[in-house]
Amino acid sequence: MNTDRDPSIHGFCLRQKISRSSYYNLVAEGTGPREYRVGKLVRISEEAEAEWVRQREAEHAARVVEAA
């Protein structure tokens, strides 16, 4: 586990190179990463982020296969 990793929404958006509004759109669509809360703070675990990336990659691969 990387102790320097920022688990906040801001940190997630920076690592994934998406805007905060794009993040909230993903969450509204039900395709955002799993979140947990610490008080009022929303956090995204390293595992949840990795799972989210794997899911996006799998969806992309499925679309590429369909298009072929």
Other residues' Cβ atoms within 10 Å of the Cβ of residue 11 = 14
Residue type, 48: A
Whether 52 is covered by a domain: the verdict is: yes
pLDDT of residue 42: 98
Whether 60 is covered by a domain: the verdict is: yes
Whether 13 is covered by a domain: the verdict is: yes
| Contact indicator for 13, 3 with CB cutoff of 8 Å | no
Whether 2 is covered by a domain: the verdict is: no
pTM: 0.87
Give 25-59 pLDDT, tens digit per residue: 999 999 999 999 999 999 999 999 999 999 999 99
Residue 26 lies in domain? 9-67
Whether 1 is covered by a domain: the verdict is: no
DSSP reduced 3-state for 49:
helix
Give 7-32 pLDDT, tens digit per residue: 999 999 999 999 999 999 999 999 99
Whether 3 is covered by a domain: the verdict is: no
pLDDT of residue 59: 94
The domain tally of the chain equals 1
